[in-house]
Amino acid sequence: MTLNNLRGRVAFIFEEIDFDVDQIVGVSNMKTTDINELTKSAMQSYDKNFLNTVKQGDLLVGNHNFGYGHPHYPPMKAMRHLGIRGIIAESFSPGYWRGEISMGFPQIPCPGILEFVSRWDEIEVDWATSTLSNLTQGTTIGFEPLPHADFAMLQAGGLENYLKNRFFKPAAIGEIS
């Protein structure tokens, strides 16, 4: 299985260093289990019109140590529900990184990304060449390839599928298990 390139618009740029993703939905909504209710709260303190402008395939951009704090799943669950396909950041908080990669949600560390894109630019992440192209501006920047296990988890769609693919081998027809 190959991992498709990501291509979409930069729906939002989080310029804050050590950005805590809980702020995306607000700490008061962290225990909300209804995805539609959770999604309604997404980005309201940053852009009141976000829910009307975001579309399937959009990407987010962040600063250094994106995801700092306690790595809770509701904020990014809401963003995935809205169609966000991945995040490109200067760097990521390790706990946040591990949690989202294990969920199969692409994270691309790309030093220099904040100077490379503007909001609403059309961009494309090319996994094979470890490059990010700004299609709006006609420029390209490199990023470090993901560690093999992280890339394999993304290819599999998350940790659960990765482990099933790696360790579970179905018995052949007629074979006793």
Would you say residue 175 lies in a domain?
A: no
Range of the domain at 12: 6-167
∠ CA 151-156-160, nearest 5°, is 110
CA distance linking residue 71 with residue 172, whole number of Å: 41
**Tens of pLDDT, residues 99-126:** 999 999 999 999 999 999 999 999 999 9
% of the chain with per-residue pLDDT over 70: 94
Please tell me what DSSP assigns to residue 43. T
Domain membership flag for residue 84 = yes
Closest C-alpha among 89, 72, 96 to residue 16: 89
Q: For residue 174, is it within any domain?
A: no
Tokens 């309604």 -> residue: 40
Measured distance CA(27)–CA(165) in Å, rounded: 36
Each residue's pLDDT tens digit, 47-75: 999 999 999 999 999 999 999 987 788 99
Residue 13 lies in a domain: yes
Residue 147 predicted with pLDDT over 60? yes
Task: Please indicate, yes or no, if residue 66 is contained in any of the structural domains.
Answer: yes
Residue 2 confidence class, pLDDT cut points 50, 70, 90: confident
Q: Given a cut of 70, is residue 130 above it in pLDDT?
A: yes
Measure the CA angle with vertex 136, ends 62 and 80; round to 5°.
40
Average pLDDT, the chain: 93
Judge whether 127 lies within some domain: yes
Burial class (CB in 10 A: 0-12, 13-18, 19+), 174: exposed
Cross-strand pairs, 109: 89
* Number of domains forming the structure of the chain: 1
CATH code for the domain in which residue 92 is found: 3.20.19.10
Task: Please tell me whether residue 150 adopts helix, strand or coil conformation.
Answer: helix
158 within domain boundaries: yes
Residue 156 lies in a domain: yes
